[in-house]
Structure 1
Amino acid sequence: NLTHFVYLLGVFSEYFKELEEESIRDNFVIIYELLDELMDFGYPQTTDSKILQEYITQEGHKLETGAPRPPATVTNAVFLEVSANGNVLRSEIVGSIKMRVFLSGMPELRLGLNDKVLFDNTGRGKSKSCVRLSQFELMSYRLNTHVKPLIWIESVIEKHSHSRIEYISSQFKRRSTATMWRFTVPVPMMQTHQNLKPQWGSVKWVPEKREIGGKEYLMRAHFGLPSVEAEDKEGKPPISVKFEIPYFTTSGIQVRYLKIIEKSGYQALPWVRYITQNGDYQLRTQ
């Protein structure tokens, strides 16, 4: 009921001091542990923060700009190939969990993922049980599953005028933001002039690579070509896309909890972040 949610917010505020989006994101491991103690099969149980602090001793963390934190990074690389008619020809997800550790002694790490069945049905993975490194790859996996294109490109080519219009749209949810976004459009070998007008971002003409690179959702490009009658026989290279989406995992794999246990009992703050990057991300043109 509503009263239980009021107590729930009070417990979170007791742990995190200030209840904000960043603090919830950075302390979601502790939140899962608190919810496990606060509710049992959906029914309210212990709501006293003093009692909860006896069971869950990890302190909450308030986000501070520029504060160094050792993260466990879940990285997903998306490999996608889309045909000219919009069908996905090949798709897979290659991911890894990378650790950066700044701890003394030989603590025990307990890591819980959301769904083991996902690996059994659609992919394979491997992990390390014991390491003595400050930075290492804890686990890697590969999922051979259908991937919905995160970046969609509609290409319209007018053969007579050799002008091109690219309509680009993102397919991931609004709460996620893509950074370091760059797409590469192959162009004809010979041009007399160029006219590039991005609606957002910037466009760079790279003649030695015969491509346009930029960051825009709508782009109109016109190329003046010499007068030729023969059809271009060099083929139509695919459009490649580069991007990075923080706090987003396209594989659906999530870290449910990350516990650090050490015999001396010192306090350690685990932190997890997610990153989705492009792999071989190509879309063929008509």
Structure 2
Amino acid sequence: MKSYLSGNPEIRLALNEDLSIGRGGGSIYDYRSSSGSGAVVLDDCNFHESVRLDSFDMDRTLALVPPDGEFPVMNYRMTQEFKPPFRINCLIEEAGQLKAEVIIKVRAEFPSNITANTVVVQMPVPKYTARASFELEPGAVGQRTDFKESNKKLEWGLKKIVGGSEHTLRAKLTFSQESHANITKEAGPVSMTFTIPMYNVSRLQVKYLQIAKKSSSYNPYRWVRYVTQANSYVARI
């Protein structure tokens, strides 16, 4: 939360009503519960020292008088399986004595009203790769390709990916020597970096944010923004 409100007003913040929290350890501000199972299940969580949990058990709301500036209201941990936002398929086929073809397909597994930005796909290729040429889908816009010769990696950049869409890259590799091993063992894994605004893998959400007592001395602006970022999303070939 970022707060620059004058007069130290109380803030009420509501989370998912179907939130369930399992047992966990930690600081004195840890919240522990053994109650039921909800659609959103956290292993454990802890709160900023300004947060009051008077009605948290009843309606999953937090009350706090926020300090000035930026601070974490809540930290949480979850280890249950979740659906990754992307599905990656990769195929490598030999195309001659000193050649091979790589096909990478990326499918967005999130709703069509959400868009991922600044997506970069990278794939290490055999160290004896001398050149790489690329083929994008017909009509592809906002995409770039590059062969990083210094570290022998293919790089595919996509300005944006709309949920539900699928994109394909074909790369033709030329080797400086004949391979005496399985090429697939010398290539990969495929990795991605991306940012997805207004998307939350854990499904934990802020239902509303209220200022308990408004003042004529300021005009507050309230907004909630979700961002999912990945710096090392990896898929094995």
Please give the TM-score of this superposition, normalised by the length of structure 2: 0.70
Distance 1:263 1:245, change over 3 A: closer
2:125 to 183, 187, 190: 187
Deviation at 1:239, TM superposition (A): 0.8
* 1:219-255 superposed Cα distances (whole Å, 9 cap, x missing partner): 1101111342521587443111111111122211111
Task: Tell me, yes or no, if the aligned pair for 1:115 and 1:253 is still in contact at 8 Å.
Answer: no
The residue number in structure 2 matching 1:147 is: 82
Name the amino acid aligned to 2:212: I
Which shows bigger deviation, 181-190 or 208-217? Answer: 208-217
Distance 1:221 1:235, change over 3 A: closer
Name the amino acid aligned to 1:141: Y
Distance 1:152 1:263, change over 3 A: closer
Alignment length (residue pairs): 187
Question: Runs of 5+ in structure 1 lacking a partner?
Answer: 1-98
Question: In percent, how many aligned pairs have the same letter?
Answer: 26
Counterpart Cα distance in 1 of 2:16 and 2:130: 56
Deviation at 1:179, TM superposition (A): 0.7
Counterpart Cα distance in 2 of 1:193 and 1:268: 57
Please give the TM-score of this superposition, normalised by the length of structure 1: 0.59
* 2:27 pairs with 1:107: no
More strand by share: 2
The residue number in structure 2 matching 1:46 is: none
Deviation at 1:160, TM superposition (A): 5.4
**CA root-mean-square deviation:** 2.3
Question: Runs of 5+ in structure 2 lacking a partner?
Answer: 23-40, 51-65, 159-166
Name the amino acid aligned to 1:126: N
Distance 1:170 1:229, change over 3 A: closer
Deviation at 1:264, TM superposition (A): 4.6
More helix by share: 1
* 1:120-149 superposed Cα distances (whole Å, 9 cap, x missing partner): 344221110325331122212121121212
The residue number in structure 2 matching 1:215 is: 157
Distance 1:208 1:265, change over 3 A: same
Partner-residue secondary structure (3-state), 1:167: strand
2:72 to 123, 133, 137: 137
Name the amino acid aligned to 2:170: R
The residue number in structure 2 matching 1:62 is: none
* 2:114 pairs with 1:176: yes
Name the amino acid aligned to 2:93: E
1:224 to 167, 174, 191: 174
* 2:179 pairs with 1:259: no
The residue number in structure 2 matching 1:272 is: 224
The residue number in structure 2 matching 1:204 is: 146
Deviation at 1:265, TM superposition (A): 5.9
1:250 to 192, 201, 209: 201
Partner-residue secondary structure (3-state), 1:118: strand
Counterpart Cα distance in 2 of 1:116 and 1:142: 17
Name the amino acid aligned to 2:108: S
